[in-house]
Structure 1
């Protein structure tokens, strides 16, 4: 499997894992990810269990209205862990995919939806938006010289 697909699988696996915390499917997720991360080594399994328990405890201790934010904050660490696992052991991809799909089928439907509408309707207008992330713009002088002010201060 190509590295891009493995990274994507690690990301979607992490998303499902953090979504499962503090739900009825947590024990299934915990057991599956313990096996996956432990790879048959008892010491690795113990480390995975501690990390998984810490994840669940942090989500469970948050007020229900704050749990999605806690999950978003915890997600990058799990993306990294699962991404590293996919890089170190590409054979684990099949097991992660099966576990991810099984958990997805059992997780409750999302209770929240986020909608963002952005409109730009003027000549040379630009509209941008981000949800739960950043937008970083780097001007390219070769293709976008930008607006230049005339001597009277008006833009041309």
Structure 2
């Protein structure tokens, strides 16, 4: 299986999960991710429920103006959890993709997108950014430095 695709799936799955917290979509996200993370094991499901409840509580208890910052911080935690899940059980990738797509379709438009702002302020500095993909720099002909 393509590792780049799995990494992207883990990222977008985690993104949809954290975006669903504190929205009406949580009523679908929580049981879906409980099943996915539990993999039919009641103890794993109980652990997943506790973690998902903690995620939702943290987002809900944050002022609305600060929720994107909290979601961004929580995103990396859930990316790791989903990456670990797919490493342990590669078949979970298909279930994650279905769940991600279902939740994404249900999220309100503002939760379906994020904006990344990057600023370079030093003399000669270059700012680059990417969300959920890669940046590849090629040396300029002649001087060997990145563009």
TM-score normalised by length of structure 2: 0.79
* Structure 1 stretches lacking a partner, 5+ long: 120-124, 133-141, 145-156
Structure with the bigger percentage of helix? 2
Report if aligned partners of 2:118, 2:129 keep a CA contact under 8 Å in 1: no
Cα separation, 1, equivalents of 2:86 and 2:114: 30
Report if aligned partners of 1:55, 1:74 keep a CA contact under 8 Å in 2: yes
Partner of 1:143: 144
Name the Cα RMSD after superposition. Answer: 2.6
* Structure 2 stretches lacking a partner, 5+ long: 132-142
Deviations 1:90-114 (A, max 9, x none): 1011110000000000000117864
Following TM superposition, by how much is the alpha carbon of 1:127 offset from its aligned partner in structure 2, in angstroms?
3.4
Cα separation, 2, equivalents of 1:130 and 1:48: 32
Following TM superposition, by how much is the alpha carbon of 1:143 offset from its aligned partner in structure 2, in angstroms?
2.5
Give the secondary structure class of the aligned counterpart of 1:110: helix
TM-score normalised by length of structure 1: 0.75
Specify whether residues 85 and 114 from structure 1 end up closer, same or farther in structure 2 by C-alpha distance, changes over 3 A only: closer
Find out whether 1:27 has 2:27 as its counterpart: yes
Q: How does 1:73-92 map to 2 (within 5 A)?
A: 73-92=73-92
Partner of 2:134: none
Cα separation, 1, equivalents of 2:69 and 2:125: 29
Cα separation, 2, equivalents of 1:17 and 1:78: 8
Count of residue correspondences: 130
Deviations 1:1-52 (A, max 9, x none): 2222112111110000000000000010000000000000000000000000
Cα separation, 2, equivalents of 1:113 and 1:98: 21
